[in-house]
Each structure stands twice: as C-alpha cells, then as structure tokens.
Chain A
Amino acid sequence: MPNARSHMDDRRPVPFRGGGFSPMPVRYAAAIGFAVLLAIWELAVRRGLVSPIFLPAPSTIVAALGDLWRAGTLWQHVSQSLVRLAGGWCLGTAAGLAAGLLMGVWSLGRAVGVPFVSALFPIPKISLLPLLILWLGIGEASKIATIALGVFFPTAIAAYTAIDAVPRNLIRMAQSFGLPAGDVLRKIVLPGALPGILAGFRISTSIALILLVSAEMIGAQYGIGAFVLQAGNLMLTDQLLAGVLLISLLGLMLGAGLGRLERHLLRWR
C-alpha cells in the first residue's frame, strides 16, 4: 500500500500550543522567598554593605522587639492600640453601615448622602487632628474618633454600592411573595450585600491600622502608633521598624480573621 505509506511519512504530532498564563499555587514558595530576602538583608547589613543607620538588620529589629517584651511594655503598647482599633473600627463600621443602608435604600438619603460622603471621604483625617482635639480632648475619645472617621467613609461607600448591587429581581421576588419591607431588608438586601460589605471590611481594617499612627499622635503615651512615632522622632530606626513589623503582623492577623469570617458567612458562594 504505497498510498498509506506516504501518509505515514507525512505524519507529524500536533504541537502543544496551550498552557501558561495560569499561575498555580506553589507550596511554600512565599515562605522560601521571604526567608531568602531576609537572609540577603541580614547579610548585607552584617557585611557592611548597608549602613545599619539606614536599614537595621532583621536580627536587630527582632532584638528591639525582644527588648520591648522584656521591658514589659510590648503588651501595653499592643493592648492600648487594640482597644483604640476595636473601638474606632466598631464605631466607624456601625455608623458607616447605617449611612450606607440609608443611601442604598432611601432616595432622599442617597440624594443627600452620596455627594456628602464623596466630598468628605478624601479629606486626610490627620489634618483634622487639631479640631478633634478641640472637640473631644486628648483622651481616648479623639483617638477613637480619628479611626472611626477613617473607617466610616469606606464602609458607607462599600455598603451603599453593595446594596445597590443586590439583584433587583430578588427583591421583586420577595415582594411577590408578600414579604413585609423589614423582611425584605433583613432577608434579601442585607445578606445580598454581605459579600460587598465584607470586602469593605478588608479596606476599613487596613485604614484603621494606617490611622493608628495618626490617632496616637494625639498625646498617647502607649500604643504601637505612639511607639513608632517616638522611634521615628528619636531616629531609632530599629525600634521604628519593630513597630512597623508589629503593625503589619496585626494587619496580617486581622486579614486572616476576616478571611475566616468570609469563608464562614459566605460558604454559599
């Protein structure tokens, strides 16, 4: 069969052209990458390639944390900051959710609220510190208010957009079954907006952490923000970075906590 023979000669495998462009999770890669980076950093400082004034070695930073721990002030700093963060975040979140709800479901609320929120959101809260001091003093109230103010706006906007994004057909469905307005809100609008609201929580917790330093500019003796501030003022760069490390650890923990909350509340997704 000469014909078949020649077909065989012509035969080539189809080359594979797909693949790529879809990053796969690689186990431990992040941890290893991080460790390598730390090692390079440590070595660079020890070898004198980088002056410890400009960039203290990781070991020095950890030692600074250790000093804090031994002095017994670490917990004092952390606990004070946690109280302020929790107070400010909860207050800002409660007010933000209420405002977002009003803007999400009520025409007048939206007409008044949206331009108001858009105008006030970008104000750097730190520039309001003197006013906050005048209004609320230099105790915990003004610190908590600084954080609450920072949390309020993104929460209100997240809640409002999330409520706006709840499919209208679900609301119509609920109405067609005669659900009272309160039930529509409770059983349709709020759960439907929950993913968007939780995504807003990620932003608002980060903002709360960012504002911690600003808040503790107001006459704070203890607190991670006050500690970072003081270290910066004194040019104690190892302590400065130790404080920054604490803040980012706190951020990681809050992020992980929110992740768990999301997985729990949004298992239906």
Chain B
Amino acid sequence: MRLVCESVGHRYGSLDVLDGIGLTVADGECVAVVGPSGCGKSTLLGIMGGLVEPAAGRVYFEGTAPAGSLNPITYVFQDFALLPWRSVAANVSLALEHHPLDAREREARVADALARTGLGEFRDAFPKQLSGGMRQRVGIARALAVSPAILLMDEPLSALDAQTRELLMEDFLALWLAARTTSVYVTHNLHEALRLADRICVLSRRPGRIKQIVAVGIPQAERAASAAAREMSILADRLWAAVREEAIDAEREIAHG
C-alpha cells in the first residue's frame, strides 16, 4: 500500500508545527523522517496514522491491504506503550482481541510474532521484568501480529542504550527485509536512517517543512559492506550538512510554552 500526504500542516494553538508537507511513500518503501527535536516529526506521524487531526491538508492510503492484515496502519512507539498489567503474550494479543478471530488463529498469530522477535521464552513475563530492548521487541511483535500494510515508527530505538540499539537495528533490518512493509521511520539519528531507509526526508526546524529528500541508492543489505563505505560516508556528510544548521537554530530557540 502507498501513503500520500497532501500539503499537510498543523498547529497547536498559536504554535505552528508543520507546514505544507507533501510526501508519498511508495509500496514497499521505507522512508525515514529526520529533523531537529521539536520540529514536528511525531506530529506528522500522528497525522499519517489518524491519531492527530491535521489543521491543513489530507492524508490518503492507496491500494489494498494484503489478505490477513487486521490493522493496515500500525505504530511502533518510542516508549513501547506496553500495558504493565499484561504479560508479553497478552500485550501482543491486545491488538487481536477485538477482531473476529477464533482462539486458535489468535494464538497462532501471537506465537508467530513472538517467535519472529525472539520472545518465545518470555511470553509469560511482565514488561517490568524485561530489559528495554526486550520491551521494544514486544512492541514490534505486537505490530507484526496484526500484519500491517503500513508501519509507522516513532523513534523506536531512541529510548535504548547504544549497544541494544545496534542489536535491535540488526534484527529489525532482517525482519523488514523479509517483509518489505511500507514504512515511515522517524528518528533524529542519521545513522539509523542511513541503515534502513530507501529515502531520507529532512525536515527544517519548526514549523517543519521538507527541506530535502535524499535517496539512498544502495540496497539495505549491501550498505554495511566495505565497498559501499565511501558512498555511504558522502551521503552521511550531505545529510549532516542539511540537518546541522537546522539543529543549531533549533537548539538556540527559547523553549516554547
């Protein structure tokens, strides 16, 4: 499925947050959205998934969801958003319970999602017993369980320490390469964007506008290879140059409200 934003803008009261965002995410494509903190990335993602009503513009999704997709547009959250009173399996099953599935199919989906994220042996654990990395794996498993057509991820690795982030990125890349779900990946970490995205959309500081869209020509699987190192580093420099001045300005801004 494709996701289309048409001149999306947003404001919170008198605070202009987004302005004139036009962006199309193609079927099977992963677009990263980067930009300085507070520029409206989360807001944009919220608008894309129907959790925030845009002040201007529209968002469409096009095409038909694959058979078995229960929740076409599905989120993975930065703070995991797990229910502390539900076990791992029950947290995953929460996304399924209101769908007319028979118990066997539901159980199969939960088991499959847990297996794919390496959580099989943790199914009865409670979130507080898990490390941050494991908790985000639950968040990902929950998203996988509903077979999404479009995956919206809001800084899914930002709450984790560097090593965990690296490990999870590897696992996540493998999962993504296997399924190639249309994805929007919001991050302020350029390295993550370069590992995962087909295109990287750089937002200006608030109000966020599209400053630049950088296409990464190398397939994800080959980016870590030394052959690609030079091209990747040039891309990284270009990206950083685009983000840097926005970040400097954003940092010098006086906190709003």
- The reply on A3 being an interface residue by CB < 8 A is no
A269 CB contact (under 8 Å) in B81, B83, B128, B146: B128
Considering only CB atoms, which chain A residue lies closest to B96 in the complex? A177
A115 at the interface (CB under 8 A from B): no
**B51 lies within 8 A of A176 (CB):** yes
* B77 engages A169 (CB within 8 Å): yes
Q: Give every chain B residue within 8 A of A191 (Cβ-Cβ).
A: 83, 85
A258 proximal to B (CB < 8 A): no
**For B73, what are the chain A residues with a Cβ–Cβ distance below 8 Å?**
176
A23 at the interface (CB under 8 A from B): no
Query: For the complex, what is the distance from the CA of A191 to the CA of B91, rounded to whole Å?
Result: 13
Query: Could you give, for residues 92-133 of chain B, a 1 whenever the CB lies within 8 Å of some chain A CB and a 0 otherwise?
Result: 001101100000000000000000000000000011100000
Encoded as 1 (CB less than 8 Å from any B CB) or 0, chain A from 239 to 269 comes to: 0000000000000000000000000001011
Q: Is the CB of A169 within 8 A of B79?
A: yes
Q: Is the CB of B71 within 8 A of A178?
A: yes
Q: Which of A169, A173, A187, A269 contacts B84 (CB 8 A)?
A: A269
Q: Nearest CB to that of B86 among chain A residues?
A: A268
B-facing residues in A166-218 (Cβ within 8 Å): 169-170, 172-180, 183, 187-188, 191-192, 194
Binary per-residue interface labels of chain B (51-90) against chain A in the complex, 1 for a CB within 8 Å, 0 otherwise: 1000000000000000000010111010101011110000
Chain B residues with CB below 8 A from A187, complex form: 83, 94, 97
Q: Mark contacts of A143-175 with chain B using CB atoms, 8 A cut-off: 1 yes-contact digit, 0 otherwise.
A: 000000000000000000000000001101111
The A/B interface has a contact count, at CB < 8 Å, of 49
Given the contacts A191-B83, A268-B84, A173 and B77 also touching, CB distance less than 8 Å: yes
- Complex contact B51–A183 (CB within 8 A): no
Determine whether B49 belongs to the interface, using a CB cutoff of 8 Å to chain A.
Answer: yes
Taken together as a complex, chains A and B put the C-alpha atoms of A169 and B75 apart, in Å, by 12
User: B85: which of A172, A177, A178, A268 is its contact (CB, 8 Å)?
Assistant: A268
Inter-chain contact B74/A176, CB cutoff 8 Å: yes
What is the CA–CA distance of A191 and B128 in the complex, to the nearest angstrom?
A: 16
Report which of B83, B126, B128 forms a contact with A170, defined as CB distance below 8 A.
B83
B75 touches A173 (CB 8 A): yes
Asked whether, in the complex, the Cβ of B98 is within 8 Å of the Cβ of A178, the reply is yes
When C-beta atoms are compared, the residue in chain B nearest to A183 turns out to be B98
| CB nearest to B143 among chain A residues | A177
Q: Is B81 in contact with A169, judged by CB distance below 8 angstroms?
A: yes
A177 and B84 contacting across the interface, CB-CB below 8 Å: no
| Size bin of chain A's contact surface | 20 to 34
| Complex contact B81–A172 (CB within 8 A) | yes
Interchain CA distance A176-B127 in the complex, whole Å: 20
Cα separation A139 to B146 with both chains bound (whole Å): 58
B126 and A177: CB pair below 8 A?
A: no
Closest to A174 in B: B94
Report Cα–Cα, A268/B126, bound state, in Å. Answer: 6
A268 to B82 Cα, complex, angstroms: 12
Interface centre among A172, A175, A191, by most chain B C-beta atoms within 10 angstroms, is A172
Q: Which of A176, A180, A266 contacts B75 (CB 8 A)?
A: A176
Minimum C-beta distance from A237 to chain B (A): 49
**Alpha-carbon distance A173/B128, docked complex (angstroms):** 18
Give the interface of B toward A (CB within 8 A).
49, 51, 71, 73-75, 77, 79, 81, 83-86, 94-95, 97-98, 126-128, 142, 146
Q: List 28 A-B contacts (CB under 8 A).
A: A169-B81, A170-B83, A172-B81, A173-B77, A174-B94, A176-B49, A176-B51, A176-B71, A176-B75, A177-B71, A177-B74, A177-B94, A177-B95, A177-B142, A178-B98, A179-B94, A179-B98, A180-B98, A183-B97, A183-B98, A187-B83, A191-B83, A191-B85, A192-B83, A194-B85, A266-B85, A268-B127, A268-B128
A sample of 17 more A-B contacts (CB under 8 A), given A173-B81, A176-B75, A187-B97, is A169-B77, A169-B81, A172-B81, A176-B51, A176-B73, A177-B146, A178-B98, A183-B98, A187-B83, A188-B83, A192-B83, A266-B85, A268-B86, A268-B127, A268-B128, A269-B84, A269-B128
